[in-house]
Amino acid sequence: MNLLKRLLGKPSSKISHPLEKHLGYSFSNRALLKQAFTHRSITTEPKQNYERLEFLGDAVIDIIISQELMKDFKNEDEGFLTQKRSSLVQKSFLGSMGKKLNLLSHLNIESTVDLNLEKIAEKQAANTYEALVGAIFLDGGLKPARKLILNTLWVNRQEAWKAINYKGQLIELCHILKIANPRFLVTNVSGPDHQKLFEVYVIIKDDQFPTGIGTNKKTAEQSAAQYALEALSS
């Protein structure tokens, strides 16, 4: 039995679409299934390509992952939870899940988009994963969408939480791109002495990137560096 069948349960006898057999999930509205795997290179019509579903899937993933983190880490603060969630919802990790599920083999995309390039393939795998979550949520509700998220992202969470030196990677990328080195600026420190929360953002030349949050300056810098890396790599 393939991976997606194990994740979503036994297929319905009504399943006829090859991708539904692969998923083990029967869509009531197959237009959502088609949309989830249609790239904008095929059509720029918003209701026919995956981008709206990707937008929705991103939000559903955030909610489910946030719920699980709240349950697992009952005494940790916002900064800790934010950092854990960021690692799980970053494009590179979502892309690795999309690749494990072999989603790109079902993507309807123009040949001018070169999926042999690692960065492009990773981005498309991540986008397709989010679109699939959005499509399942619209079609079957939160329960099957949650099941897919928990059995892909959540069960592999330790893989995402391995120590990664985002700050070092960002400095290296700036060197490769021949742009200014990043500057890390602390914008706010709040909370009591025993539970401080640091907010840091990155500036590269004249560009400012989203704020990273952490329970100390180092973790906040790592979070901010991760956001900057994702922006520069997109």
Any idea which residues carry the catalytic annotation? Answer: 58, 130
**What is the DSSP track for the chain?**
--HHHHHH-SPPTT--SHHHHHHT---S-HHHHHHHTB-TTT---TTTSTHHHHHHHHHHHHHHHHHHHHHH-TT--HHHHHHHHHHHHSHHHHHHHHHHTTGGGG-B--TTS-TTSHHHHHHHHHHHHHHHHHHHHHHH-HHHHHHHHIIIIITTHHHHTS---HHHHHHHHHHHHT-PPPEEEEEEEES-GGG-EEEEEEEETTEE-PPEEESSHHHHHHHHHHHHHHHHH-
Beta bridge partners of 198: 189, 214
Number of Cβ within 10 Å of residue 60's Cβ equals 20
- The count of residues in the chain is 234
Phi and psi for 214 in degrees, rounded to 5? -160, 165
